[in-house]
């Protein structure tokens, strides 16, 4: 058993971390509170030994264990080896030596709430501690706390997006409850932004929620999105979509768009503001609003209650990817969803050089 546990120095641990190894600090919470090696997972030894698969994705994943001086981490490594983990390293001298050698430490200590709450994210190499901190520092602005905004906001709160602003002018109506899952029977008649904030805080008290009970208009749109990292369009009318699109292009904000009607939905990411000339905007897709008969809203046409749930969660997914900088976004593609046939399809959205908003000829 011994020969599958390798002793390493703290400095070696730092370079192995850079190559993707997972560093776990098995000391107790009160010790963690006094400081941690940078990007270490703080998991007390008893908790780790009780349920290691909750924290370590694969039995052959490279795992570096550290404690105060190197004793407890060695015992933890032996336990993990007995459980079948095969790629284990013990940091000699522990956090004492780490500190003496002035190796990088956490500025903001990861508290136990962070480690437990986001445990499933921390297991993903594409997210990890660095990604989860990005989410925690990010600011997403949601236009609308209705059918699309509700599921999007709920999951963004759960995912740990640290700053969320919601703007909505409406009060909760009984007919909303069939799909707007942030609101409950008890919140009928109260502002949607209040009901939304209460539900999100109940789910994740770590995050900051700013609300504005207002309608988006030309006077407030720029200040509302000014310090957003991502903007999510959960509105249900064309004037708001154009207003938001134009402001996002002007202020270089990625815009995650979706719309639903009856049994179908569509969505895209419009990133023309940051990628002028190579990514389209909403007006490249729809230069003009269709007239009312061609484009009834949900109140007029009806909508299957689960549909905005599907599309809103896809919006949240794109927003999270943009913040983490992972994968490919829907920029330049229109995703269409038909619930009745259960089919997703995709259209390419070319950049319109004559676009009245982002067209090169306008600048």
Q: Which residues are catalytic?
A: 298
Stretch that binds Zn ion, among 24-32, 282-290, 308-316, 324-332 (CB under 5 A): 282-290
Q: Is 284 in the site for Zn ion (CB under 5 A)?
A: yes
Q: Is 358 in the site for Zn ion (CB under 5 A)?
A: yes
Report the residue number, 156 or 281, with the smaller CB distance to Zn ion.
Answer: 281
Report the residue number, 41 or 357, with the smaller CB distance to Zn ion.
Answer: 357
Return the number of other C-beta atoms located less than 10 Å from residue 120's C-beta: 10
Report the residue number, 127 or 284, with the smaller CB distance to Zn ion.
Answer: 284
Report the residue number, 150 or 268, with the smaller CB distance to Zn ion.
Answer: 268
Q: Is 134 in the site for Zn ion (CB under 5 A)?
A: no
Nearest to 13 by CA among 100, 123, 89, 68: 89
Give the interface size with Zn ion as a residue count (CB under 5 A). Answer: 6
Q: Is 285 in the site for Zn ion (CB under 5 A)?
A: no
Stretch that binds Zn ion, among 77-85, 145-153, 206-214, 351-359 (CB under 5 A): 351-359
Q: How far is the CB of 287 from Zn ion (least distance, A)?
A: 8
Q: Give the residue, chosen from 110, 281, 316, 320, that forms a contact with Zn ion under the rule CB under 5 A.
A: 281
Backbone angles phi and psi of 289, in degrees to 5: -70, 135
Q: Is 357 in the site for Zn ion (CB under 5 A)?
A: yes
Measured between alpha carbons, how far is 295 from 289 in angstroms, rounded to an integer? 9
Backbone angles phi and psi of 42, in degrees to 5: -95, 100
Q: Is 355 in the site for Zn ion (CB under 5 A)?
A: yes
Q: Is 269 in the site for Zn ion (CB under 5 A)?
A: no
Q: How far is the CB of 148 from Zn ion (least distance, A)?
A: 22
Stretch that binds Zn ion, among 135-143, 184-192, 211-219, 281-289 (CB under 5 A): 281-289
Q: How far is the CB of 311 from Zn ion (least distance, A)?
A: 22
Q: Is 196 in the site for Zn ion (CB under 5 A)?
A: no
Residues near Zn ion, by CB under 5 A: 281, 283-284, 355, 357-358
């Amino acid at each position: 058993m011994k020969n599958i546990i390798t002793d390493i120095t703290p400095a070696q641990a730092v370079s192995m971390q850079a190559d993707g190894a997972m560093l776990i600090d098995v000391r107790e919470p009160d010790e963690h509170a006094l400081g941690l090696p940078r990007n270490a997972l703080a998991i007390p030894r008893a908790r780790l030994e009780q349920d290691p698969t909750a924290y370590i994705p694969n039995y052959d994943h490279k795992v570096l264990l550290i404690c105060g001086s190197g004793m407890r981490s060695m015992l933890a490594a032996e336990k993990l080896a007995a459980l079948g983990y095969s790629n284990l390293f013990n940091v000699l001298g522990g956090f004492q030596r780490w500190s003496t050698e002035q190796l990088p430490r956490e500025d903001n200590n990861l508290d136990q709430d962070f480690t437990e709450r986001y445990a499933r994210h921390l297991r993903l190499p594409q997210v990890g501690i660095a990604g989860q901190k990005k989410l925690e520092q990010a600011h997403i602005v949601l236009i609308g706390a209705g059918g699309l905004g509700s599921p999007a906001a709920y999951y963004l709160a759960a995912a740990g997006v640290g700053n969320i602003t919601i703007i909505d002018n409406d009060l909760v109506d009984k007919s909303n409850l069939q799909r707007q899952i942030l609101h409950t029977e008890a919140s009928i008649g109260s502002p949607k932004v209040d009901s939304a904030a209460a539900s999100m805080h109940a789910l994740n008290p770590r995050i900051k929620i700013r609300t504005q009970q207002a309608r988006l208009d030309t006077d407030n749109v720029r200040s509302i999105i000014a310090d957003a990292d991502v903007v999510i369009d959960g509105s249900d009318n064309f004037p708001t979509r154009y207003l938001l699109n134009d402001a996002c292009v002007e202020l270089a904000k990625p815009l995650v768009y979706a719309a639903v009607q009856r049994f179908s939905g569509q969505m895209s990411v419009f990133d023309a503001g940051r990628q002028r000339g190579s990514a389209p905007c909403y007006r490249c897709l729809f230069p003009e609003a269709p007239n009312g008969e061609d484009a009834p809203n949900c109140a007029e046409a009806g909508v299957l209650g689960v549909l905005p749930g599907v599309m809103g969660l896809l919006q949240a997914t794109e927003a999270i990817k943009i913040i983490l900088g992972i994968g490919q976004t829907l920029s330049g593609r229109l995703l269409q969803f038909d619930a009745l046939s259960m089919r997703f399809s995709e259209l390419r959205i070319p950049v319109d050089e004559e676009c009245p908003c982002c067209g090169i000829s306008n600048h």
